[in-house]
Amino acid sequence: MVKSVRTMNKERILQNRKELISNPDWNSYKFQLQNRIKAHQLQDYFLLTEKEFSGIRNSIRLNVGTTPYYMSLADPEDPECPIRKMIIPSDSETVISPEESPDPLHEERLSPVRGLTRMYNDRVLLFSNQECSVYCRHCMRGRKVSFNDERMELGQLDECFDYIENNPEISDVVISGGDPLNLTDSRIDYILERLENIPSVKICRIGTRNPVTLPMRITHALLKIIDSHNSERLSIFCNTQFNHEKECTPEAKEAVLKLLKVGVSVGNQCVILKGINDSGEKMLSLHRKLLEMRVRAYYMYDPEIIPGSRGFRTPLRKGFDIIEYMRGKIGGIGIPQFVNDLPGGGGKITLSPKWYFGFHRETRNHLFKSAVNGNYHISPEPVDSGYDLSYDEVDPELWMQVKGNLKSVQNG
């Protein structure tokens, strides 16, 4: 029987994957970067759909590319694979909606010198470079990432450090990019040394997705550099981005444990992505895995309104539903803060489901709803409080509706 074209293509793709994964240099991060799979090579490792072919041909917002390691986590046949969706552009990426903006957070407008954004008085964001190991399709900095004219030269970095030094109210520096761990060891050493030597800077947060997409990058040499600057003068943290439990591999866990052993706390900032993790069940599974890896939940972002993001964006309600679902099913250290980084440079705000329903002034009780069992509970205001009038009053109809149940809860 003659084999179908699809069967032959599948066999070819599986063989290509096998040959790449069996390379003796597979565990070298330099091999991974040197053999990064580009747009025209994706058909060698995936049975692409017409929508994916269209996305690859017409995507102009951001380079297309992935490390072989991250590619190996993606299903070669299933276009609904969550990892695959973060690697391969779909035709929805080519549709630019009127509400979208290349810089929705106004990071460029809030930049006092090139490569530095100052949205808060005590914190700045340093754009260290323009390259990533994987060009994630939901990247909110597509205007900067993958374009060579956004490269930060040493002199430009020095201007950023001079600005920080001349503004001593700045105590916290987030190093981002691109991915700062795609820089050479010597450049990372230089950046950390400069920050460590600025007296006002006490906190350094490295924003990197390499523990997810290129865990081999966490080498002994890199750890030695980080450890040397993680000192009494400078506390170094790492924030990464796991979005799906499929990313929580043994290799990723090993990379995290290496960072923890040199005193670097690792937190996770996921993004709610349509069709990838936009349900309570998927987010709960992810954060259970992260706790096993000793990664603490930090933020869960509402998607940014960036060009071509229609295929990823979710209703705001999804975030509330996810947090409501997770509460009571996992310890608090595994529940992220749901945040919206406000368009127009308004900074981050935390959002939460409604657990508090107001103050009943007659009985001086606050009304709450349990995340565990859905029952209503009350808690009294202190007798000597002077804040009664500062609270929103509970809806009288709701109070009457639940009043009988409140007594049984109290007596129970």
What are the tens digits of pLDDT across the range 87-121?
Answer: 999 999 888 888 889 999 999 999 999 999 999 99
288 pLDDT higher than 70: yes
Q: Which of 298, 302, 270 is nearest to 286 (CA)?
A: 270
pLDDT, residue 2, reads: 47
pLDDT, residue 216, reads: 98
Q: What is the chain's length?
A: 412
Report how far residue 44's alpha carbon sits from residue 60's, in angstroms, rounded to the nearest whole number: 21
Q: Which of 231, 294, 307 is nearest to 263 (CA)?
A: 231
Give the confidence band of 149 by pLDDT, cuts at 50, 70, 90.
confident
Across the range 313-318, mean pLDDT stands at 95
pLDDT, residue 180, reads: 97
Q: Which of 306, 244, 255, 249 is nearest to 99 (CA)?
A: 306
pTM of the model: 0.94
How many CB atoms are located within 10 Å of the residue 372 CB? 8
What are the tens digits of pLDDT across the range 351-364?
Answer: 999 999 999 999 99
Q: Which of 45, 36, 38, 43 is nearest to 17 (CA)?
A: 45
**What six digits make up the tokens of 326?**
């997770």
16 pLDDT higher than 60: yes
CA angle 373, 376, 382 (to 5 degrees): 125
Domains annotated on the chain, with CATH: 5-94 (no CATH), 116-351 (3.20.20.70), 356-411 (no CATH)
Q: 102: Cβ–Cβ under 8 A, 6 or more apart, which residues?
A: 142, 143, 306, 307
pLDDT, residue 3, reads: 62
